[in-house]
Structure 1
């Protein structure tokens, strides 16, 4: 049997320090945000699966993004709420690795999915006549499955490397979930191999998708600017503006936490930045797509009217 070199069997997550009133207030706020996130994303999935007008590649990808948001926030927020109530909480070594695995998988999946969605908008605007032949149902399903496989595969490698770290000193993690950087800070073994591994995986998982997204939107912008009428330009831009906002928010927070050097960055700032993409971004995404999308607003109106008529039927 392979000897377990990890002396620490559990970790203590500090969460957010503060008075009991502050922690209870944060609990109430984050609990409402979590409920709103689940309900909002489930509503998006329900609308896109029941409305025939929304059975297009773009909305299929949006439904997958909503699934990912539910997956991500459920991995992190429930345990964070318990930590807020108890002023900290323990998590086993295995539980910490499992949480890190699913968190990492959802983040990598979203990176690839947002890249696929930018390519979808590129084909729709730059090659509209070929759109139906390029973005077929089979192609969309293959792209989404590939994103999930890549996400879970990259996460498995990172988690495997994290499992090889030795934790023999303090077992206190100054964070509200098991993220990579806080784990590296308390490891008592050499962290260079996993840092090298993360850097190498970051090229296909973060850098290449970023380049593809920037290139796609640069070409989209060049095409939109060539449209003679302002109405045509506005209509073309509206088809990708929601996705562009989501991409900007997601990548800004991701780069702020994992790419910008952590030296001089306090743990409080790191926690706040992490809250943006683990708690608030999954809530913002369905709001952006529902408020800025006429088709989704129309589907909400139609389904609401349908159920109201059924409720009033004798």
Structure 2
């Protein structure tokens, strides 16, 4: 990908996201809320706030559903299309070892992406159930905090130098524990 195309994509997505979020925030300011409420959550998000609305939120919820579907589907389709091309390129590799290494490298990204998209889709697109707030709270914690923490670990574990350093550290710790306790 050329630098200019990458820059246009980043600027385009930032602008589109900013306009969409400004529209949702504008409509959210028109919603009436029922008295003072303490939000039992990690962060103040649209889905958390809307639970305490007293006025009619149907138009806002419809807008949010449409926007969420588009914002979830667009990057998902981009990832699927990209990986289709990547898999087609990998299948053209003649050596089995090369194909295995390429698939191994791509698999960690696909796992993290699949988890992320599944959670986002579940939180923002799937209709709400009776225990929605508890599910939302735990899933939002996972996608806001756990995935960003495990992503570098997953990619780091793929690095050969890191694996060797980890093995060395683990064997040194094992020797230390044996020497101290025995």
Instruction: Return the TM-score normalized by structure 1.
Output: 0.46
Pair 1:205-2:71 in alignment:
yes
Equivalent position of 1:156 in the other structure: 22
1:262 aligned counterpart, secondary structure: coil
Inter-partner Cα distance in structure 2 for 1:241 and 1:286: 14
Instruction: Please report how far the alpha carbon of residue 276 of structure 1 lies from its aligned counterpart in structure 2 after TM superposition.
Output: 0.3
8 Å Cα contact 1:165/1:189 also seen in 2:
yes
8 Å Cα contact 1:166/1:188 also seen in 2:
yes
Which whole-Å deviations, capped at 9, do the CAs of 1:117-175 have from their partners, x for residues lacking one? Answer: xxxxxxxxxxxxxxxxxx12222233223232233222222222211111134523342
Instruction: Please report how far the alpha carbon of residue 284 of structure 1 lies from its aligned counterpart in structure 2 after TM superposition.
Output: 1.3
Which structure 2 residue ranges, 5 or more long, are not aligned?
163-182
1:186 aligned counterpart, secondary structure: coil
Inter-partner Cα distance in structure 2 for 1:229 and 1:164: 61
Give the total of aligned pairs: 164
Q: Measured at CA, do residues 226 and 289 of structure 1 come closer, stay the same or move farther in structure 2, by a change above 3 Å? A: same
8 Å Cα contact 1:173/1:186 also seen in 2:
no
Equivalent position of 1:292 in the other structure: 158
Q: Measured at CA, do residues 245 and 232 of structure 1 come closer, stay the same or move farther in structure 2, by a change above 3 Å? A: same
Inter-partner Cα distance in structure 1 for 2:135 and 2:73: 24
Equivalent position of 2:145 in the other structure: 279
Instruction: Please report how far the alpha carbon of residue 210 of structure 1 lies from its aligned counterpart in structure 2 after TM superposition.
Output: 1.5
Inter-partner Cα distance in structure 2 for 1:294 and 1:155: 42
Q: Measured at CA, do residues 287 and 149 of structure 1 come closer, stay the same or move farther in structure 2, by a change above 3 Å? A: farther
Instruction: Return the TM-score normalized by structure 2.
Output: 0.75
> What are the within-5 Å matches in structure 2 for residues 100-111 of structure 1?
none
Instruction: Please report how far the alpha carbon of residue 251 of structure 1 lies from its aligned counterpart in structure 2 after TM superposition.
Output: 0.8
Pair 1:253-2:132 in alignment:
no
Equivalent position of 2:82 in the other structure: 216
Instruction: Please report how far the alpha carbon of residue 252 of structure 1 lies from its aligned counterpart in structure 2 after TM superposition.
Output: 1.7
Instruction: Please report how far the alpha carbon of residue 269 of structure 1 lies from its aligned counterpart in structure 2 after TM superposition.
Output: 2.5
Which structure 1 residue ranges, 5 or more long, are not aligned?
1-134, 298-314
1:264 aligned counterpart, secondary structure: coil
Inter-partner Cα distance in structure 1 for 2:104 and 2:27: 43
Equivalent position of 1:140 in the other structure: 6
Q: CA RMSD in A?
A: 2.6
Which whole-Å deviations, capped at 9, do the CAs of 1:86-131 have from their partners, x for residues lacking one? Answer: xxxxxxxxxxxxxxxxxxxxxxxxxxxxxxxxxxxxxxxxxxxxxx
Question: Which has the higher relative contact order, 1 or 2, with Cα contacts under 8 A spaced 6 or more apart?
Answer: 1
Larger Rg: 2
Q: Measured at CA, do residues 197 and 250 of structure 1 come closer, stay the same or move farther in structure 2, by a change above 3 Å? A: same
Pair 1:265-2:131 in alignment:
yes
Instruction: Please report how far the alpha carbon of residue 183 of structure 1 lies from its aligned counterpart in structure 2 after TM superposition.
Output: 1.5
